[in-house]
Amino acid sequence: MTRSRSFAAVISRTLAPDEPPALEEVRRRRAGLHAAMAGLEAALAAPGAAADGWSRTVSEALDDLGEVWSRHCADTEAPGAFLDEITAEAPRLSGPVGRMRREHAEVSGLISRLVRRLAVPPGAGTADTWVEEIRSDATTLLGLLVRHRQRGADLVYEAFAVDLGGGY
């Protein structure tokens, strides 16, 4: 039995009341990404008047999100991993899978740009503008992540008729 078939078989059985551990792992990873997103959102919402402290908190939250995101990309894009399993199980979904891969690159790029911008403190008299620009770009990032998670849940459902739930 190939890895793809074993995963598909496990996911297909999730319609039974006793869910297998593989689906629970998918939900755990989704919850981890959601928690990292919530951490960034909370950091962004803090007062930006003290730009040094604010940028440090936002940088830490963004680093956490970046680590979770990197694991997500590795776990789903590695050869034979989740996205390959979906296209093996449901070739009709190769278009949406390709979109997920492109979104991985887009989100990774935005995280990298934000990390670089946060590393350069604002000039004298420009802290308010700098904070607002960071907040705007990071809010865009959070929106991309929300939509990515939604599309991922839809993709799993389309491939395996499994609802991951929206509570994570």
Task: Return d(Cα 164, Cα 82) in angstroms, integer.
Answer: 15
- Close Cβ partners of 108 (under 8 Å, ≥ 6 residues apart): 69, 70, 73
- Close Cβ partners of 142 (under 8 Å, ≥ 6 residues apart): 37, 40, 41
pLDDT digits 0-9 by tens, 91-131: 999 999 999 999 999 999 999 999 999 998 887 778 889 99
Residue 5's closest CA among 90, 92, 89, 93?
89
Give the Å distances, CA to CA, from 161 to 15, 99, 116, 142: 8, 20, 41, 27
pLDDT tens, per residue, the chain with 168 residues: 344 444 444 344 444 344 445 566 677 888 999 999 999 999 999 998 776 789 999 999 999 999 999 999 998 888 988 889 889 888 999 999 999 999 999 999 999 999 999 998 887 778 889 999 999 999 999 999 999 999 988 988 888 776 556 554
Q: What is the DSSP string of 8-39?
A: HHHHHGGGSSS--HHHHHHHHHHHHHHHHHHH
